Structure 1
Amino acid sequence: MSQSAIGEGGASAPLDASATDLSEVRDWLALLKPRVMTLVVFTGLIGMILAPGHLHPVLGATAVLCIAVAAGAAGAINMWYDRDIDAVMKRTARRPIPAGRIRAGSALAFGVVLSVASVGVMGLATNWHAAGWLAASIGFYVFVYTMWLKRRTPQNIVIGGAAGAFPPVIGWAAVTGGVEVLPLLLFAIVFAWTPPHFWSLSLWAHADYQRAGVPMLPVVAGARETRRQILIYTVLLFPLALAPWFLGLAGPIYGAAAAVMGAGFLWHAVRVLREPQDAAGRSLGNDAAARAAFRFSLLHLAVLFAALAVDHLVLG
């Protein structure tokens, strides 16, 4: 620090240092992709709530923490690997690694240490079956989606969607030590939900992906085909989301929520398909329908899982 800063402004130096420290903490937290982590933690927690049996509250909280840390660890490794394409995408250019605030090697070490720690603690706190599912979720996101699929195929989101579908299975396994039909159905619901959710985002972020050379569906197949695929997957998701109620694994609260939210998602998907477009299917209205569909998709999944929990807690 310069002498002038230590002079009249000397009193502010501790505040400046504190602000710098806080900013650095925020950067490390940003590596964990906290927005993604929130949804992962929520679905994992619902899996634990639905599972038969009992887990001590301290061990349950530890299991939820392990799911959160594992998701963040995978996110940190993803940011390390994708630092080159993040640097050329407007949406990601200010992330800590491409912006130069965190060294790539440090981010990788951070992610690897958290990965190992989360799996180890999960195994010791609950059971090694749950720890195995947790390790599989990290490995799938890092090696299958990030390193293999993302830069090679427009099906990256379709296959890679499995990475975000593991948490309810992990939560269930943490309580029971095994997996049954309901958590596998929840896995399938999240798996089918991911393409229309993410493709709605990619419609209005396609220029970023094109600039980075990432073969997202709008870049490879065009906006019109992407709109059609969003509708197709949303139609497939509708009966799949109703399956837990239809099979008697969830009650009427969930059934009603799945029907209403499924109809709402279908309505948004139709709006995306019918949004005013040019000859190539690109929006003439700032992708308003796609943005709305993306926001609704988040609400859709949150309401489905919350309804499962309410149904279970109220009706048993």
Structure 2
Amino acid sequence: MTAIDNHAMLGADEHIRPSEANARDFFELLKPRVMSLVVFTAFAGLLLAPGTINPVLGFIAILCVAVGAGASGALNMWYDADIDAVMTRTARRPIPSGRIQPNEALAFGLTLSTFSVAILGLAINWFAAGLLAFTIFFYAVVYTMWLKRSTPQNIVIGGASGAFPPMIGWACVTGGVSLDSVILFLIIFLWTPAHFWALALFKMRDYGSVGIPMMPNVAGERSTKHQIVAYAVATAVVGVAPTMTGLVGWAYGIFAALLGAIFVLCSISVWRMADGDEKMVPAKRMFAYSVFYLFAIFSGLIASHYGAVFSAFAGALS
């Protein structure tokens, strides 16, 4: 059975089967793991931005970003229900498993998108709201509906959608963007291909079964490994850049350099891995470390920034 056949069956089923969805199913539709990363990096952007924001407004801003990210996930699952039904990694998601009907997921995603953007605009500022709207559009339409099924560069270009949250957080405080917020964007943007292609290497059969042109399936494992190393190096370099602009101190720079060196070493282990290796241990290890790397980098940025603020405050009191 092809992905198209599955999509047709899903579309037919929604007219004859009542919904079996509960609150947990709708929460799963929001892609909570992805949402947690989006929320954390947006929160980092909000904290690192110059200036202050009322804590209540800051909470509303992050909540809107979280809801917007979840809306993107729901729209992605709605459109990708046909291929999700075929891939082992996604077959138990709410729509292909039949717990949520496609029309419910679409309505849910569109409603959350509208409310998250409107509330962010009304409560915070319309520049940040515009960035959030563009991020939702980029992920749901540009990446999901166009790039994902048409080019092996899908995750490179589409990765921008996951890189905007710290810029949104920054814009919530400042009403605009700056070089530092662009660097925060670049850290995630350059990190995404190395992170996702490590996953794609050990999920090649899944992507191949539904015709998604992931880099390993189109360019081959060897070319993908070369590119993973290149993006890992670029990520490690940009990861240190906030020290160069003065956003944070040298303690962060040393910390980021160590994290980046390990990231590059992981990518070299993937590069040295034999093509066709069924165990794919280095790729799995790199995928796991890449998640830790991003959380650690943004945690380090927050700790360094507030460590400097605390030191300045203590110095003023002494």
Query: What TM-score results when the alignment is normalised by the length of structure 1?
Result: 0.90
* Inter-partner Cα distance in structure 1 for 2:141 and 2:101: 21
**RMSD value, Cα:** 1.3
Contact 1:253-1:310 at 8 Å conserved across structures: no
The structural deviation recorded for 1:25 is 1.3
* Percentage of matched positions with identical amino acids: 54
Alignment correspondent of 2:244: 246
3-state secondary structure, aligned to 2:159: helix
Matches within 5 A, 1:27-66: 27-66=25-64
Alignment correspondent of 1:111: 109
Alignment correspondent of 2:277: 283
Contact 1:253-1:307 at 8 Å conserved across structures: no
1:71-107 CA distance string (max 9 Å, x none): 0000000000000000100000110101111010010
Contact 2:247-2:305 at 8 Å conserved across structures: no
The structural deviation recorded for 1:22 is 11
Aligned residue identity for 1:283:
D
Alignment correspondent of 2:207: 209
The structural deviation recorded for 1:247 is 2.5
3-state secondary structure, aligned to 1:150: helix
Matches within 5 A, 1:1-316: 24-275=22-273, 277=274, 281-284=275-278, 286-316=279-309
* Inter-partner Cα distance in structure 1 for 2:20 and 2:269: 43
Contact 2:20-2:100 at 8 Å conserved across structures: no
Contact 1:257-1:303 at 8 Å conserved across structures: no
* Inter-partner Cα distance in structure 1 for 2:170 and 2:246: 18
3-state secondary structure, aligned to 2:95: coil
The structural deviation recorded for 1:23 is 7.0
Contact 2:42-2:62 at 8 Å conserved across structures: yes
Contact 1:165-1:190 at 8 Å conserved across structures: yes
Contact 2:75-2:110 at 8 Å conserved across structures: yes
1:261-284 CA distance string (max 9 Å, x none): 000001100111112x2xxx2225
The structural deviation recorded for 1:44 is 0.1
* Inter-partner Cα distance in structure 2 for 1:232 and 1:168: 24
Aligned residue identity for 2:125:
N
Aligned residue identity for 1:282:
G
Equivalenced residues, count: 291
* Inter-partner Cα distance in structure 2 for 1:212 and 1:236: 31
Q: Could you list the runs of 5+ residues in structure 1 that have no partner in the other structure? A: 1-20
Alignment correspondent of 2:313: none
* Inter-partner Cα distance in structure 2 for 1:288 and 1:223: 14
Q: Could you list the runs of 5+ residues in structure 2 that have no partner in the other structure? A: 1-18, 310-318
1:128-151 CA distance string (max 9 Å, x none): 111011001101101110011000
* Inter-partner Cα distance in structure 2 for 1:188 and 1:140: 16
The structural deviation recorded for 1:26 is 1.1
Contact 1:224-1:282 at 8 Å conserved across structures: no
* Inter-partner Cα distance in structure 2 for 1:29 and 1:83: 16
The structural deviation recorded for 1:51 is 0.9
Deviating 4+ runs (over 4 angstroms): none
Contact 1:182-1:249 at 8 Å conserved across structures: yes
* Inter-partner Cα distance in structure 2 for 1:97 and 1:197: 26
Alignment correspondent of 2:9: none
Q: Highest Rg: 1 or 2?
A: 1
Alignment correspondent of 1:12: none
